[in-house]
């Protein structure tokens, strides 16, 4: 085994979703470690930590991991892993990442949002840079071949000049929303300002942290592109983008939504064109979890470009926090970079 790994936080995204019969496997950190380690002997998990003893013991039994700790700091001290996955909730991630860097790890796979404030995020970036630690943030669509193809279509003029984007998802601007903001930044580039409001009905959330509300926003990009975010709480899972250009359209999202439209002769008006559905360009199917882990290991080996680093994680968090800041200021425009000490806890 080339690298040893450890997991902090033994919940759903760490390993439990591997038991969901509807998910395409692997679909968790541990699933990725098993697949990549089994295929190449490149990495293997040797320890895990969680304050929930039931989850921790279930993890150890399921995957044959004997080194189990209630205190992740003791694990870092005694096991000294090369790679760490930080899968605990967002309020704890800052300290866990910083302690992992202090313990001498070489790579960190951190869940999103990777911090609860910009100050935390900047400190994590600086610490990782200073110590030469590779850090990826789990905005998983960065490793998704369909989103990569959509970005290629946009950059190659396949929908003409990018004009606007609409992001729909079900509430939670930090936990869920940073995925959407990451894609908007990836496709649209640097942001000039954000204007938004938080939803007024908190609804019933299936977890204890209530600060991470949904809401809506208007986003102005520096290149003139505009985006709208519609993210009120819903009773169903919903996550998609509608991307409009001067000569085409892309719709992409969960539930296998993947559509491409280009202008063709109108069937209603002589001499005019309308959008008609075209085959989406072919792309190679790849598992996003193994792609993410291999990307991290390549970065540790100094032979790969980080596709979702902490800088990108900070950009996505900044957009989400800017909506909170705008809402605090009664819907005023908030310019980027955000100058605020606002802190929002999320899952």
213 lies in which domain range?
142-284+316-328
Residues 30 and 162 in one domain: no
Residues 169 and 298 in one domain: no
Phi, psi torsion values for 76, nearest 5 degrees: -60, -40
Per-residue pLDDT at 164: 98
Residue 342 lies in a domain: no
Residues 249 and 322 in one domain: yes
Residue 242, burial from CB neighbour count under 10 angstroms (0-12, 13-18, 19+):
middle
Tokens of 274: 């309308």
90-131 pLDDT tens trace: 999 999 999 999 999 999 999 999 999 999 999 999 999 999
248-253 and 239-245 beta bridge pairing:
antiparallel
Question: CATH no. for residue 210?
Answer: 3.30.360.10
Per-residue pLDDT at 208: 55
197-220 pLDDT tens trace: 999 866 555 555 678 999 999 999
Closest-CA residue to 99 (of 70, 119, 67, 75): 75
pTM of the model: 0.96
Question: CATH no. for residue 132?
Answer: 3.40.50.720
**Secondary structure letter of residue 67 according to DSSP:** E
Rounded mean pLDDT, 250-262: 97
Residues 115 and 164 in one domain: no
Residue 168 lies in a domain: yes
Q: How many domains does the chain have?
A: 2
Residues 112 and 135 in one domain: yes
Tokens of 224: 């003139």
Give strand pairing partners of 229: 167, 217
Residues 117 and 164 in one domain: no
Tally helices (H) and strands (E) across the chain.
9, 15
Q: How many Å separate Cα 142 from the centre of its chain? A: 8
Burial 321-332 (b: 16+ CB within 10 A, else e): bbbbbbbeeeee
**Secondary structure letter of residue 81 according to DSSP:** -
Residue 7 lies in a domain: yes
The phi-psi region of residue 84 (left if phi > 0; otherwise alpha if psi is between -120 and 50; otherwise beta) is beta
Residues 130 and 190 in one domain: no
Rounded mean pLDDT, 262-275: 95
Residues 169 and 220 in one domain: yes
Per-residue pLDDT at 203: 54
3-8 and 83-86 beta bridge pairing:
parallel
334-335 and 134-137 beta bridge pairing:
unpaired
3-class SS of residue 273: strand
**Secondary structure letter of residue 28 according to DSSP:** S
33-70 pLDDT tens trace: 999 999 899 999 999 999 999 999 999 999 999 999 99
134-137 and 107-110 beta bridge pairing:
parallel
């Amino acid at each position: 085994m080339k690298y040893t790994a450890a997991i902090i936080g033994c919940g759903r995204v760490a390993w439990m979703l591997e038991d969901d019969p509807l998910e395409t496997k692997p679909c968790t950190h541990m699933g990725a470690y098993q697949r990549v380690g089994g295929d190449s002997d490149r990495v293997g998990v040797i320890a895990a930590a969680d304050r929930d003893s039931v989850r921790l013991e279930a993890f150890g039994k399921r995957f044959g991991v004997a080194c189990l700790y209630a205190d992740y700091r003791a694990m870092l001290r005694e096991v000294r892993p090369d790679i760490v996955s930080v899968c605990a909730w967002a309020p704890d991630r800052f300290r866990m990442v910083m302690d992992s860097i202090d313990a001498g790890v070489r790579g960190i796979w951190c869940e999103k949002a990777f911090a609860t404030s910009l100050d935390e995020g900047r400190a994590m970036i600086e610490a990782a840079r200073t110590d030469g630690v590779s850090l990826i943030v789990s905005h998983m669509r960065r490793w998704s071949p369909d989103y990569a193809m959509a970005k290629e279509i946009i950059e190659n003029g396949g929908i003409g000049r990018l004009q606007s984007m609409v992001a729909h998802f079900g509430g939670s601007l930090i936990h869920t929303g940073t995925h959407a903001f990451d894609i908007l930044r990836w496709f649209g580039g640097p942001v000039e300002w954000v204007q938004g409001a938080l939803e007024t009905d908190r609804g019933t959330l299936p977890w204890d942290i209530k600060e991470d509300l949904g809401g809506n926003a208007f986003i102005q990009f520096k290149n003139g592109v505009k985006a709208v975010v519609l993210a009120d709480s819903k009773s169903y899972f919903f996550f998609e983008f509608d991307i409009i250009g001067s000569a085409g359209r892309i719709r992409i999202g969960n539930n296998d939504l993947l559509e491409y439209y280009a202008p063709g002769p109108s069937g209603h008006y002589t001499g005019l064109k309308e959008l008609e559905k075209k085959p989406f360009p072919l792309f190679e199917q790849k598992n996003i979890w193994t792609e993410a882990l291999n990307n991290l290991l390549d970065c540790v080996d100094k032979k790969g470009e980080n596709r979702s680093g902490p800088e990108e994680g900070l950009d996505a968090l900044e957009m989400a926090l800017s909506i909170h800041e705008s809402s605090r200021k009664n819907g005023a425009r908030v310019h980027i970079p955000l100058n605020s000490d606002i802190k929002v806890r999320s899952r």
